Amino acid sequence: MKKQAYNPYLPSWEYIPDGEPHVFGDRIYVFGSHDLFNGHVFCLGDYVCYSAPVSDLSDWRYEGVIYKKTDDPLNTAGKMCLYAPDVTRGKDGRYYLYYVLDKVSVVSVAVCDTPAGKYEFYGYVHYKDGIRLGERKSDENQFDPGVLYEDGKTYLYTGFCARGDKSRHGAMCTVLDGDMLTVLEDPRFVVPGCEYSAGSGFEGHEYFEAASIRKFGDTYYFVYSSILMHELCYAISKKPTEGFTYGGVIVSNTDIGISSGKPADMPLAYGANNHGSIEKINGGYYIFYHRHTNGNWYCRQGCAEKIQILPDGKIPQVEITSCGLNGGPLAGKGVYPAYIACNLFCEKPSVYVGEGQPKITQDGRDGDENEGYVANVFKGVTIGFKYFDLKGLSKIKLTTRGYGKGDFEIRTTHDGPVLGRISVDFSNVWETYSTKVRIPDGKTALYFKFAGDGNCQFKGIELV
């Protein structure tokens, strides 16, 4: 690769959650919704696209705006947001973008001759009598479309099922005809919501939102966000419209479920909702998901981890890391920005992001290309990076600013012995401090816990 790949895999000032990765030709494209830095709600931006060559997952290219929120005839005034989309390639070789606006229960479709060109509005998914899917009296809410075109049919998966809402039964699959719009087979429930899961095998991990579909070999993988929100789960079947059984958790954006080096129920990052999917790239499988920044739910960034699909079709849960698409640990020498920290927590860890917590943020306004950093660092805050390939590490430097004074304790596990300390002082500009350390060579995590007074900001580290 031209350079190392990090999590998040896009620039630190870009906020593209709900990522649907697709390999078309020799490039991987990510289609998602578009949050704004300091946005007050989800998905305020137009759809943009990034892509990278499958041979270099560090080399992401901005493809520009591919579809504006005002391009939909129902939204010419721009008062509705573009929620999570998906794209599939039709029989005619064109690319079809499926999405739902935030205040209507219909599925819109746009089309383009290329994966990341300018999409044009194409129509609404509708029954043969012309009634739009989602507007029949018996229809349930259309939300978060995931699509797969296969053998002249498009399989459209949708649904949103909140706790306590018995009007929502689960995720649905609707089969569309070759025109990509007309309903060929009415919606069928494929994965239950929490109000209708008794005896299903999905209990505790029922469907909430974020429908996504993939097929590997002869097996269909339905990826979704469970009722717990922070985790992406999967269900498997040999048929696209029925027979799905619960598979397990693929990733949690809090690392709940990971028991290596910590209790399984301990969160090591602040999470909330999650959305993403699996893609096969160069023979390997990856799960794309998102994390939360800026101390709220509305500034989400795309991340990815390599996964395994075992011979029996199972997918073991993977931990969240700083190295993601890198293909291995990061080099044990060099400068690393704080925004690639995968673990961030204080003395009282929390599953859900909120006020009063340390947070990854940036200076400026949305669109300003300012590198991210960790803010609100107070006594007891831990900032963790996984993983580095350490070789002869002799010194660690870190850069801070703000009104915090004291030591950062260096560890290789979140609660392990202190292997070194770096003292920092009050400063209204970025200042760099260092200490000599002795840490054994090998694949290693690094944790920095603030043991001082006040509140500071953490820009990054340098390994020497």
Catalytic residues: 18, 209
| Calpha distance 202→333 (Å, rounded) | 45
Question: How far is residue 208's CA from residue 194's CA, in Å, rounded to a whole number?
Answer: 8
Phi then psi for residue 75, to 5 deg, are -135, 35
- Asked whether 373 and 337 are in contact (CB, 8 A), the reply is yes
DSSP-derived pairing of the beta strands 330-331 and 382-390: parallel
Q: Rounded distance, CA 447 to CA 383, Å?
A: 6
In the numeric block, the tokens 């479920």 are attached to 257
Among candidate residues 124, 90, 119, the one with its CA nearest the CA of residue 107: 124
Q: Would you say 329 and 12 are in contact if contact means Cβ atoms under 8 Å apart?
A: no
| Cβ 462 vs Cβ 330: under 8 Å | no
3-state secondary structure 5-58: CCCCCCCCCCCCCCCEEEEECCEEEEECCCCCCCCCCCCCCCEEEEEEECCCCC
Name 388's bridge partners. Answer: 330, 444
CA 221/CA 293 separation, integer angstroms: 29
Q: Which residue has the tokens 């949305």?
A: 366
Determine how many CB atoms are found less than 10 A away from the CB of residue 333. 14
The two structure tokens encoding residue 270: 């602040």
Q: Which two tokens stand for residue 146?
A: 């995931």
CB 406 within 8 A of CB 423: yes
Work out the number of other CB atoms within 10 angstroms of the CB of residue 53.
Answer: 16
Q: What is the CA radius of gyration of the chain?
A: 22
DSSP 283-299: TEEEEEEEEE-TTSSS-
- Per-residue tokens: 62: 């901005």
